[in-house]
């Protein structure tokens, strides 16, 4: 397709190539539309209109190089992990497992790698904790009364007794506390 105008014909004659070729050269040289108009000696905005009429997308090479550099830089900051012999990013692991991205990032930054990133926290698969405190039944009654009045955390902090032990006794899990 060619552009049928006096300005286009005079520009083609002056530069020895058709308008489409001239527009593509300007893009390849990394020129902005304004710079291309200056090079070709046409009024400002003309080259952009020509590109649009010809169906040519105006993306100077310089912009493509900058975009490629940004993508490469971003790729370098990805956190890569190896899961089951496959190297993937934390983002991909998030999509596959459904674990929150911030959780995975915090675990990665804490030094966890591989399958450790996807494990559930806590005492999964372990027996509940047993507390060997050597406290008698009478003392436990006093401790539990204190916990009722002031709350289990306050009681644990004031008396130096593990919070888990107090919570176990309040639930009635006497077998966990000796």
Residue 126 falls inside a structural domain: no
Is 95 found in the same domain as 58? no
Q: Specify the 3-state DSSP secondary structure of 107.
A: helix
Is 56 found in the same domain as 83? no
Residue 104 falls inside a structural domain: yes
Domain of residue 146 covers: 137-176
Is 87 found in the same domain as 43? no
Is 56 found in the same domain as 24? yes
Give, for 44, the enclosing helix (H) or strand (E).
none
Is 143 found in the same domain as 170? yes
Residue 171 falls inside a structural domain: yes
Q: Which two tokens stand for residue 17?
A: 């190539």
Residue 67 falls inside a structural domain: no
**Average pLDDT of the residues of the chain:** 82
Q: What is the pLDDT of residue 120?
A: 74
Residue 159 falls inside a structural domain: yes
- Residue range 35-52, pLDDT digits in tens: 888 989 999 889 888 888
Residue 129 falls inside a structural domain: no
- Residue range 115-158, pLDDT digits in tens: 888 887 665 556 667 888 888 888 888 898 999 999 999 988 88
By the 8 A CB rule, do 143 and 161 touch?
Answer: yes
pTM over 0.85: no
By the 8 A CB rule, do 21 and 1 touch?
Answer: no
**What's the number of domains the chain is made of?**
3
Residue 1 falls inside a structural domain: no
Compute the C-alpha angle 103/107/113, nearest 5°: 130
């Amino acid at each position: 397709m060619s552009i049928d105008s006096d300005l286009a014909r005079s520009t083609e004659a002056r530069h020895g190539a058709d308008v489409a070729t001239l527009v593509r050269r300007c893009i390849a040289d990394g020129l902005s539309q304004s710079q291309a108009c200056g090079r070709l000696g046409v009024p400002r905005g003309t080259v952009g209109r020509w590109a649009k009429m010809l169906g040519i997308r105006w993306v100077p090479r310089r912009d493509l190089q900058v975009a490629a550099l940004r993508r490469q830089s971003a790729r370098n900051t990805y956190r890569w992990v190896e899961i089951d012999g496959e190297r993937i990013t934390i983002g991909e692991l998030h999509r596959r497992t459904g674990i929150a991205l911030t959780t995975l990032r915090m675990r990665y930054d804490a030094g966890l790698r591989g399958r450790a990133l996807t494990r559930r926290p806590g005492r999964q698969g372990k027996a509940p904790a047993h507390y060997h405190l050597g406290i008698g039944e009478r003392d436990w009654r006093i401790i539990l009364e204190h916990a009722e009045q002031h709350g289990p955390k306050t009681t644990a902090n004031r008396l130096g007794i593990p919070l888990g032990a107090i919570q176990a006794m309040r639930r009635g899990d006497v077998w966990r506390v000796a």
